[in-house]
Structure 1
Amino acid sequence: MGLFTFGLALLLASPAWAVTVTSCDRQLTIEQPPQRAVSHDITLTAMLLALGLKERMVGYSGVSGWKTPTPELQADLDDLPELAARYPSLENLLGAGADFVFAGWNYGMRIGGEVTPASLERFGIPVYELSESCAHVMPGRVASLDDLYNDLRNLGRIFAVEDRAEALVQGMQARVAAVSNQLGEQPTRPRVFVYDSGEDVPFSAGRLGMPQPLIEAAGGRNVMDRVAANWMKVGWESVVEQDPELILIVDYGERTAAQKRDFLMQHPALQGVTAIREQRFVVLSYLAVTPSLDNAMAIETLAAALHPEIFSR
């Protein structure tokens, strides 16, 4: 028996192991480390894999229907079953024998939907909610990098891999601090528009979603920071009015990042926008702009694009 397996066996044998964490507006108690976990979305799945929990997962959902994993991530997923290409059903989760679900609001769960913490509780399946998604059940809650750190630490406690979680958190914090130290106090913050998708009406990110703290940490300002939502539809008129100096294209979905860029460059209403005139774009993956370990890279990339005079030295 390996050292980890032996230690886990001791935990499972101990009735005093139970941990309690905060999940959105709930207190969640886990009686023993999960052995048959399910995650939803590429973001949450990558988090569990980074914590070294693949052998304690029975599947994932919500990846192939929307996202294209990197070759490295796909290799990790190849021998894990995808329970549903888009949203998982109660039947999917019960059929897999799940003993824990890591999901979020609009990340596999919808208010009033079939799969929620309350519906799964009836079957003895605990759910930990992605903190960034809590704005859907806790109106006005603003996302932050601390949400990601907190999720990693809570997952570390839930699965009894605290040291691994803390190492990931400290690694990210060091990279974010390095960007902050290099930036110093900037007199101006370049305006950034997040373009996810949509042609008649664009889909973007407001002040409650993860792009907000990423842009702020990179020394920029989200032009939709007055909108109290995480991801939402906006009007092209408001984009023109805010005159972004840089457009962040989220690379996922049916259209490629190049197709999205071409569409924006040719849009008649945007021809006077600074970012279009100067052709200033940054492309980041869906994984990088939603809560994930790629957030540090996203901040580094954005900071270099927003403040080339500092980061090209």
Structure 2
Amino acid sequence: MKKLGLALAVALLSSSAALAEVSVQSCNRTVTFDGVPQRAISNDSNLTEMMLALELQDNMAGYTGISGWKTLDEELTDQVAVLPELAPKYPSKEVLIGADADFFFAGWNYGMKVGGPVTPETLAPFGIKVYELTESCIHIGEKPKVSMDDMYNDLLNLGRIFDVEERAEALVQAYREDLAQFKAGLKAADTPLRVFVYDGGEDSPFTAGRYGMPTALIEAAGGTNVTDTLDKSWVRVNWEAVVETNPEVIVIINYGEVTAAQKREFMLNNPAFADMDAVKNDRFVTLEYAEATPGPRNIKAIKKLATAFWGN
């Protein structure tokens, strides 16, 4: 009888161990976890907000890459107050190792650079596993055009990694239903509005291509991104090409030292842009950085855009 009890216990332990092992797709890699991360670090405001939306504070050692450029949503400030910011901009490998991290949620150009010192390969020898932001995967290979599924995918994968699948699935389902209901009542014209995303830069503007999240947000709101023909996520272009597209609305991304108001004034007062429909009609709408990048504020951003586009 004792042998039977021991065998049953071993079988249950083996089953538990098997269930604890989880594999997720991260860009072009399959990452396997044999336990829930306990010392996770997120980089950037939108990625940190994803972690907070899933209530993962107790599994986090801190975050990086926010105060050097931008701020968190006021609603989430209290939640993150219990966590230290380990680096104001991109973290070094030493910062992550020094924090005894076992997980890094980042992306390409969201805390990591291709060929840089902090990558999944350079962190692996230190036991730090990396999950990459789906939108950013275009920097290291091919992927489908950006869509809301990029953000949903990240939340669902984080749910699996941290063993909060039901929480993640419920959150994503709520987002899907909210967006579907909103789009069902959206009163938009048959022809999508031409929209230009102005992130910053005066000599040459930084904008979003077909793989940048604003493209998905604009399309959901009934517009079309005039630079979605560019096979990039975020990219510099020349003003001449922008003027040729004659955007009807300009979406300004608000973060950094140059304010959204200053960016708007630059465009309104530059004679080179005087014939743009958006400038002539003073049609500008501002998105905060964390609204324009993949994260919990994307549905709110779509509604804000639709209001600016159509008065919905």
TM range (shorter): over 0.9
**Residue aligning to 2:239:** 236
**Residue aligning to 2:6:** none
Say whether residues 1:226 and 2:229 are aligned partners.
Answer: yes
Contact kept? 1:179, 1:218, Cα under 8 Å: no
Match of 2:126 among 123, 127, 136: 123
Contact kept? 2:187, 2:310, Cα under 8 Å: no
Q: Secondary structure at the match of 2:251?
A: strand
**Residue aligning to 2:5:** none
**Residue aligning to 2:274:** 271
**Residue aligning to 1:32:** 35
Query: Following TM superposition, by how much is the alpha carbon of 1:179 offset from its aligned partner in structure 2, in angstroms?
Result: 2.6
**Residue aligning to 1:285:** 288
Match of 1:303 among 294, 303, 306: 306
**Residue aligning to 1:138:** 141
Cα separation, 2, equivalents of 1:111 and 1:14: 37
Cα separation, 2, equivalents of 1:125 and 1:266: 49
Cα separation, 1, equivalents of 2:310 and 2:202: 29
Unaligned runs of 5+ in 1: 1-9
Query: Following TM superposition, by how much is the alpha carbon of 1:138 offset from its aligned partner in structure 2, in angstroms?
Result: 1.2
Cα separation, 1, equivalents of 2:268 and 2:188: 32
TM-score normalised according to structure 1 size = 0.92
The worse-fitting range, judged by mean Cα deviation, of 131-140 and 98-107 is 131-140
Query: Following TM superposition, by how much is the alpha carbon of 1:141 offset from its aligned partner in structure 2, in angstroms?
Result: 4.1
Say whether residues 1:77 and 2:80 are aligned partners.
Answer: yes
Cα separation, 2, equivalents of 1:142 and 1:26: 19
The Cα offsets for residues 54-93 of structure 1, whole Å up to 9 and x where unpaired, read as 1110011100111122333332222211111111111000
The Cα offsets for residues 74-113 of structure 1, whole Å up to 9 and x where unpaired, read as 3222221111111111100010000111110001011111
What are the residue-to-residue correspondences of 1:137-286 with 2, within 5 Å?
137-139=140-142, 141-183=144-186, 186-286=189-289
Cα separation, 2, equivalents of 1:19 and 1:233: 38
Cα separation, 1, equivalents of 2:238 and 2:120: 34
Cα separation, 2, equivalents of 1:158 and 1:100: 10
The Cα offsets for residues 9-48 of structure 1, whole Å up to 9 and x where unpaired, read as x99x942210011000111101101111000000101100
Q: Secondary structure at the match of 1:114?
A: coil
Cα separation, 1, equivalents of 2:166 and 2:304: 28
Q: Secondary structure at the match of 2:126?
A: coil
- The CA RMSD measured in Å over matched residues stands at 1.8
Query: Following TM superposition, by how much is the alpha carbon of 1:257 offset from its aligned partner in structure 2, in angstroms?
Result: 1.1
**Residue aligning to 1:110:** 113
Number of aligned residues? 300
Match of 1:15 among 1, 7, 17: 17
Contact kept? 2:188, 2:310, Cα under 8 Å: no
Contact kept? 1:64, 1:86, Cα under 8 Å: yes
The worse-fitting range, judged by mean Cα deviation, of 61-70 and 278-287 is 61-70
Contact kept? 2:69, 2:89, Cα under 8 Å: yes
Cα separation, 1, equivalents of 2:72 and 2:127: 31
Cα separation, 2, equivalents of 1:225 and 1:143: 10
The worse-fitting range, judged by mean Cα deviation, of 297-306 and 270-279 is 297-306
Cα separation, 2, equivalents of 1:184 and 1:106: 36
Cα separation, 1, equivalents of 2:215 and 2:63: 27
Question: Highest CA radius of gyration, 1 or 2?
Answer: 2
The Cα offsets for residues 278-307 of structure 1, whole Å up to 9 and x where unpaired, read as 011111100001001100011111112212
TM-score normalised according to structure 2 size = 0.92
